[in-house]
Structure formats: structure tokens, C-alpha cells
Amino acid sequence: MTPDAQPAQPQKLQAQESRGGAAPAASRTTAGLIFGIGAYGLWGLLPLYFVTLTPAGPVEVVADRVVFSLVVCLVLMAVTRSWRSLAAVFRSRRSLGILTLAGVLIAANWLTYTYGVLSGQAIEAALGYFINPLVSVLLGVLVLKERLRPLQWAAVGIGFVAVLVLAIAYGRMPWIALILAFSFGFYGLVKNRVGATVDAVTSLTVETVVLTPLAVAAIVWLGVAGSLTLAGSGPGHFWLLAASGIVTATPLLFFGASARRLPMTTIGLLQYVAPLLQFIIATTILGEHMGPERWAGFGIVWLALIVLTADMLLAAQRRRSAVRAARARAADAAGVEPVA
């Protein structure tokens, strides 16, 4: 090897490593997209599942969902041997308190959503999840004291106008949508407090453990009142309700697998899949009515989401440009070729 060839060798190796790493990265992204679409797709199909559970009412559906979700979570905990992480949460007052609050919020969210679908208001329920990203941005300002960019302020303002238009269209405030948006927004905020210290399965297990006494009490109360359908409407109905545990856990696991593989920008875009599917199902299969004034309100909501998405993409682009510039400066200072 000649002296002139020596400096070129690290560059060749670097290029080979870059080419070799491209395939695993692409595969990881593809898997993340599949898991993400699977998670939000399953959440989007929930209205079809809930309408098969009649004559069970919202309280029974949620109570059964909590109990059967706990069964599925305990099986997953046993398979993954995660008992230590579960015990660690119960030893930590802070983590247990946060996840207890998260459990109460998600129970309120489930109950409101189930009521919305079973009472023929699936469109308004879908609206809640369309509004949710705007609520999350608003909570960032009010609770976390974050500073919003101009486009984020514009999106929140447009969203506020949309709620007013929809209030006029419905003849009342769209309470189902607002409760869903704020309960899930606060749920995300609360879960953010435990961050990466508690994995998804352990977190859901703790939340269902906390809620199970209330769920069992509700089931007993419905049984005494003669309103319980779990065991009195045939084996098919029983197994449909029992499947709620799997229906709850599966998209959550898919989401966790997706979030580990995709940037938050992509996850932010995928989140619109669920309410869009719910909206399509409500207006086509469930046959709910959409008058011109409701279309106007939803149109304004979608405009707000377009503005919010544009801001998110621009911010991501600026971050990538800043990272590339920093790498270029570092490479220039070191006298080597920058790595893409």
C-alpha cells in the first residue's frame, strides 16, 4: 500500500459501513410503520367492535374491559418476566400515584368513548381524537409553560373557532369530543411524568390493577340490578366481551413497538389514522348524519390540523438541518469528510 492510498482507506470503510447500515435502518422504519398503522388502524376500528357488544351498556363494557385487560396484562407480565418492574412501581409512591391518576383518566376516556359509540354519537367521538393534538399543544402552554411557535398558535386559534362552529351546529357544546380530547391529553401529560422508567405493559398493568376493584364493584352492582349481560346473553356475547382484553392490549403493544422505531414526527402524522377511520365508519357503516354545518366545523378542525402538521414538519426539517450543520462543522474542524 502506498502512502497516498492510506488516507482514502477510512473513507472507503466509512462508505461501506454507511451502505451496510442503510438496509437495517430501512427495515426498522418499515417495521415501525407497519406496527404504527396496525396500532392506529385497530384503534380506528373500535366502533365496529363496540356495536357488537350490545345489549351491554357503556359501564359494563368498560368494567369488563378493565378486568379482561388485567388478565391479558398478567399473562404478558409472566411471559416477559417483568414482575420486578411491576413491584418497583408499587414500591414507588410517586410512580404509583401518577399511574393511578393515569388509570382514572383513561377510564373516563374509555367510558366516554364507549357511551358516544353506543349512543349513536361516534362522529362526535371521532372529533375528540381530531381535537386531541390541539389540546396537547394547549396543555403544553398552560401546564408545562412551553412557548408556542406562530403556526402552533394559529392552529390552536383555528381549533377554538372550530369548537364554536360545532357548538352552534350541535346546538350545544360537543361535550363528548371535549371530554375525550382533554382526558386523553391529560393522560398523555401524566404518562409523560413516568417517561421511560415504566414500560407500556407494566404501565397498563398498574392502571388496570388500580381500576379493577371499581370494575368488579360495577359488575356486581349491574348483576344485582339485573342489568349484567356478561353471562346471560350466550357464549358468543361472553367471548366478545372477554376479547376486550386483547382488543385493549394489542394496539398498545403495536404502538410501543412503533414508537421505538419511528421518529416522533412520523408518529404524530400516524395519529390521524384512528379518528379518520372512526369518522368514515360513523358516516358510512353506522349511518350517522353529517349536516352542512357539521361539515363546516370538521373542515375547520382539519384546517387546524393541517397547520399544526405543517409546523411539525417544518420544525423537524429545521432540527435535521441544524444537526447536519453541526456535523459539518465538527467534521471540518477535525479535517475529515462529514457523515450523512
Per-residue pLDDT tens for 63-95? 999 999 999 999 999 998 889 989 999 999 988
Distance in angstroms (rounded) separating the CA atoms of residues 115 and 112: 5
Where residue 139 falls among pLDDT bands split at 50, 70, 90? confident
Q: What is the pLDDT of residue 317?
A: 86
Q: What is the DSSP letter of 47?
A: H
Give the C-alpha distances (Å, rounded to integers) separating 196 from 137, 199, 200, 203. 21, 7, 9, 11
Asked if the model's pLDDT at residue 338 lies above 80, the reply is: no
Computed over every residue of the chain, the mean pLDDT equals 86
Asked if the model's pLDDT at residue 33 lies above 70, the reply is: yes
Q: What is the pLDDT of residue 80?
A: 87
Of the chain, the percentage scoring pLDDT greater than 90 comes to 55
Other CB atoms within 10 Å distance of the CB of residue 232: 12
Per-residue pLDDT tens for 221-243? 999 999 999 988 899 999 999 99
Asked if the model's pLDDT at residue 22 lies above 60, the reply is: no
Distance in angstroms (rounded) separating the CA atoms of residues 162 and 168: 10
Distance in angstroms (rounded) separating the CA atoms of residues 50 and 275: 15
Other CB atoms within 10 Å distance of the CB of residue 292: 8
Read off the pLDDT of each residue in 109-126 and give the average, rounded to a whole number: 95
Q: What is the pLDDT of residue 56?
A: 94
Distance in angstroms (rounded) separating the CA atoms of residues 217 and 238: 19
Which residue would you say has higher pLDDT here, 88 or 326?
88
Q: What is the pLDDT of residue 313?
A: 86
Q: What is the pLDDT of residue 21?
A: 54
Q: What is the pLDDT of residue 318?
A: 86
Where residue 2 falls among pLDDT bands split at 50, 70, 90? very low
Q: What is the pLDDT of residue 48?
A: 95
| Three cell numbers, residue 321 | 438541518
Other CB atoms within 10 Å distance of the CB of residue 319: 12
Distance in angstroms (rounded) separating the CA atoms of residues 275 and 43: 8
Q: What is the pLDDT of residue 60?
A: 96
Q: What is the pLDDT of residue 99?
A: 92
DSSP readout, 257-307? HHHTTS-HHHHHHHTTHHHHHHHHHHHTTS-----HHHHHHHHHHHHHHHH
Most confident among 125-129, 197-201, 262-266 (mean pLDDT): 125-129
Asked if the model's pLDDT at residue 147 lies above 90, the reply is: no
| Three cell numbers, residue 114 | 364507549
Distance in angstroms (rounded) separating the CA atoms of residues 113 and 145: 29
Q: What is the pLDDT of residue 140?
A: 84
Q: How many CA atoms lie within 13 A of 201 on its CB side?
A: 21
Asked if residue 7 has a cis previous peptide bond (ω within 30° of 0), the answer is: no
Distance in angstroms (rounded) separating the CA atoms of residues 51 and 237: 12
pTM score, whole prediction: 0.84
Dihedral sign (CA 132, 56, 283, 161): negative
Read off the pLDDT of each residue in 188-199 and give the average, rounded to a whole number: 77
Q: What is the pLDDT of residue 17?
A: 43
Q: What is the pLDDT of residue 141?
A: 84
Distance in angstroms (rounded) separating the CA atoms of residues 117 and 3: 74
Where residue 182 falls among pLDDT bands split at 50, 70, 90? very high
Cα-Cα end-to-end distance for the chain: 28
Where residue 262 falls among pLDDT bands split at 50, 70, 90? confident
